[in-house]
Amino acid sequence: MGTYIVKRLGQALLVIWLAYTAVFIAVQSLPNDPVTIFLSTDSAADPATIAQMKAYYGYDQPLFVQYFSQLLGLLRGDLGYSLSNGSEVATRIGEVAGSTLILAGSAFVLSVVFALIIASAASLARGGKLRKALLNLPPLMVSIPVFWLGLLLLQLLAVQLGVMSLFPDGSFMSLAVPIFVLAVHLSAPIAQVLIKSVQEVNRQPFIEVLRAKGASEAWIFYRHTLKNAAPAALSIAGITIGALLAGSVITETVFSRAGLGQLILQSVTAQDIPLVQGLVLLTAVVFTAVNLLVDLIHPQLDPRIVTSTSGATRSLVA
C-alpha cells in the first residue's frame, strides 16, 4: 500500500509539472510577450512603459530564468501578478474560489446522490416500464445543456413564480437552483456508467450464488453489487471534474454569480495572460488532486488493485 501511494503521488506531481511546462511553452509561443499583448488594445501605449512593465513582471529575463523563477513561485503558491489590476494572481483567485468551491462541491455531491438514486431505482424496479424509463433518464439528462436548464429555471422560478431573485442574494434558492442545474448535468455520465457497471456485475455468477444463499435483490444490490460497480463510476466521477469546472463557468454566468467562471471570462477578455496561466494551472492541480483521491479510494473498494502485481494496478478498473 505504501509504495502504491508514493507512486500515485509522484505521478500526480509529474502531471502538474508537465501541465506547468505546457502552459509555459504555450505562452512563449504566442507572437508577443504577455505585456505587449495586454497593452495592444491600448493604441497609445508608450514603448518605454511597455519596457518598464516587462521589466517589472520579469518578461525581459532569459527564458530559463523565467521558467525556473515561475516554477519556484508555483511551489510557494505564488502565481505572479495580474496585468489587469496589478494584484497577485493567487489573491484574485482566492477571492472567488470559495464561491465556486461551494457551488461545484455541492453540485458534485448532489450529482453522486442523483446517480445512486437513479442506478438503485433502475436496478431494483420491478416493473419493466419503470425500469426502462429510468434507464433512459441519464441520456436525457446529458443532452440538456446547462445554460438552457438554467435559463428555463430562472424564467420559471424568478420571473413567473417569483420564488427566487434573478441575481444572487444569499438566499437558499439562489444557491440551490444553480447547484441543482449543475448536478443534473454532471450526474448523467456517472449514473450511466454506474448502471452499465451494475448490469455487468449482475451477470457475474456470484450474484446467482447470493440468490441461492437466500439473499433478497436489495441485499445483493446494496451489499455486493454496488461495491463491485463503484470503481468504474468513481473513475468517471474523477473525470467529470473537467466538466464540472466548465459547467461552473456557464452556471455562474447564467446566474450572475461571482466565481472562477466569471474570473476566467474576464481574464480571457482582458487578455490578462498571467491570470489565465494561473487559472489553467489551478484547473490542472484540482483535476490531478481529485484523480489522485480517486486512485487512493480504489484499493479500498477493490482489494485486487494493490495486491495484483504493481505493473497492472489500474487494469482491473479500466
Partner 1 sequence: MNATSNASSAVIRIEDLTVQYAQGTVAADSINLEIPAGQIVAIVGESGSGKSTLTKTLIGLLPQGTEVQGSVRFGGTEVTNLSLSDWRAIRGAGIGLVPQDPGASLDPVKTIGSQIIEVFRLHPSRSVPKAQWRSKAIELMQSVGIDRAESRLDQFPHELSGGLKQRVLIAIAFALNPQLLIADEPTSALDVTVQRTVLEVFVSLARKKGTTVLFVTHDLAVATDIADRVLVMNSGRLLEDRSVPALVAQSTEPYTKALLDQAYAHQDRQQPSTSDDIAITVEGLGKVFGKGRNEHQVLSDVSFEVQRGTTFSLVGESGSGKSTTAKIIMGMHPATEGSVLVNGREVANISGKQRYDLWRDAQLVYQNPDSALDPRQSIGSIIAEPMVNYRLGDSARRAQRVAQLMDQVNLPEQLVGRRPGELSGGQRQRVAIARALASGAKILVLDEALSALDVLTQEQILELLDQLQREEQLTYLFISHDLHVVERISHRVGVMCRGQIVESGTVDEIYSNPQHEYTRTLLAANPGKVLRELADSRTA
Contact between 314 and 231 (Cβ < 8 Å): no
CA distance 41 to 31: 15
Nearer to partner 1, 54 or 224 (CB): 224
Smallest gap from residue 195 Cβ to partner 1 (A): 19
Comparing CB distances to partner 1, the nearer of 44 and 212 is 212
What's the closest the beta carbon of residue 294 comes to partner 1, in angstroms? 16
SS3 content of the chain, % helix, strand, coil (to 5): 80, 0, 20
Question: Among 74, 249, 42, 18, which residue's Cα sits nearest to residue 10?
Answer: 18
- Ramachandran assignment for 62, one of left (phi > 0), alpha (psi -120 to 50 degrees), beta (any other): beta
Min separation Cβ 127 and partner 1, Å: 11
CB of 98 to partner 1, least distance (A): 37
Give the shortest CB-124-to-partner 1 separation in angstroms.
Answer: 13
* Minimum CB distance to partner 1, residue 203 (Å): 10
Of residues 265 and 304, the one with the C-beta less far from partner 1: 304
Rounded to whole angstroms, the Cα distance separating 49 from 31 reads: 19
Query: For binding to partner 1 (CB under 8 A), which residues are involved?
Result: 204-206, 208-216, 219, 224, 227-228, 301-304, 307-309
Q: Given the complex with partner 1, which of 53 and 134 has the nearer CB atom?
A: 134
Q: Based on CB atoms, which residue is closest to partner 1, 146 or 305?
A: 305
Query: 81: which strand partners?
Result: 88
First to last CA, the chain: 20
Element (H, E) at 19: helix 2-28
d(CA 10, CA 310): 15
- When the beta carbons of 160 and 309 are compared against partner 1, the nearer one is 309
